[in-house]
């Protein structure tokens, strides 16, 4: 059975239930859960963009290949985040699982089959699109005006805010962070070490950190 047909059948079966659940759980009722291994592609750059995705568990990297062969990291997505949101008919970036991940997926054009629940999910998609635009604008400002130290501080602050945990996991590599921030991997490593020495963050190994001084970090990022 093709994916669109499968999703139509899913819509008919799930629509009555989806009307009765809270808005923030609508995607769980409507979407199909798919598993991706670390490094596995979820969709490719220039693929058709009618599908909408939500991270159920794990983390996702969005990246695009530039004309000169360089890689640009467009963003990272964590549990609860919607992604694959495009204004045009194709994806401007590819998406890969950073670790073993579960992803909810639904076909955006099929949401009309879900009645009021589909309308609620459309509103969530528009809200997520606005948040994505805001993050993109913040990222452009960061690249244009911030020092390397401030870029890495801002990145860690954003991860901590979005993951909302005492200890936060960096599923991406230092090279991914460097590509995202327009820095070298050596500079990223030095700045992380400096942030730890300054008492702003605490590290546990290479992939776990917590914000040790929330007010000071927020002041640095806002400067």
Q: Over the stretch 15-64, which tens digit does the pLDDT of each residue have?
A: 454 555 555 677 777 888 999 999 999 999 999 988 999 999 999 999 99
Domain 3-137: give its CATH code.
2.60.120.10
Alpha-carbon gap, residue 143 to 154, rounded angstroms: 11
Strand partners, 171: none
**Angle, helices 185-197/148-163, rounded to nearest 10 degrees:** 70
Domains 3-137 and 146-222 share a fold: no
Which CATH topology does 146-222 take? Arc Repressor Mutant, subunit A (1.10.10)
- Choose between 12 and 128: higher pLDDT: 128
Listed by start position, the domains of the chain span 3-137, 146-222
- Choose between 140 and 48: higher pLDDT: 48
């Amino acid at each position: 059975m093709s994916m669109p047909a499968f999703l139509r059948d899913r819509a008919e079966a799930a629509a009555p239930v989806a009307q009765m659940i809270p808005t923030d759980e609508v995607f769980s009722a409507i979407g199909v859960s798919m598993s991706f291994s670390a490094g596995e592609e979820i969709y490719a750059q220039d693929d058709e963009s009618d599908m909408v995705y939500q991270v159920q568990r794990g983390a996702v990297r969005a990246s695009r290949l530039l004309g000169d062969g360089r890689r640009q990291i467009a963003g990272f997505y964590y549990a609860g985040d919607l992604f694959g949101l495009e204004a045009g008919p194709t994806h401007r970036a590819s998406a890969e699982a950073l670790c073993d991940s579960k992803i909810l997926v639904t076909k955006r054009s099929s949401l009309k089959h879900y009645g009021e629940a589909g309308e609620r999910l459309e509103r969530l998609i528009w809200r997520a699109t606005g948040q994505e635009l805001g993050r993109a604008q913040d990222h452009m400002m960061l690249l244009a005006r911030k020092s390397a130290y401030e870029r890495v501080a801002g990145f860690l602050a954003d991860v901590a805010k979005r993951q909302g945990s005492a200890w936060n996991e960096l599923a991406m590599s230092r090279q991914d962070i460097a590509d995202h921030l327009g820095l070298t991997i050596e500079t990223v490593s030095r700045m992380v070490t400096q942030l730890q020495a300054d008492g702003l963050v605490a590290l546990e190994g290479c992939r776990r950190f917590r914000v040790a001084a929330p007010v000071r970090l927020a002041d640095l990022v806002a400067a």
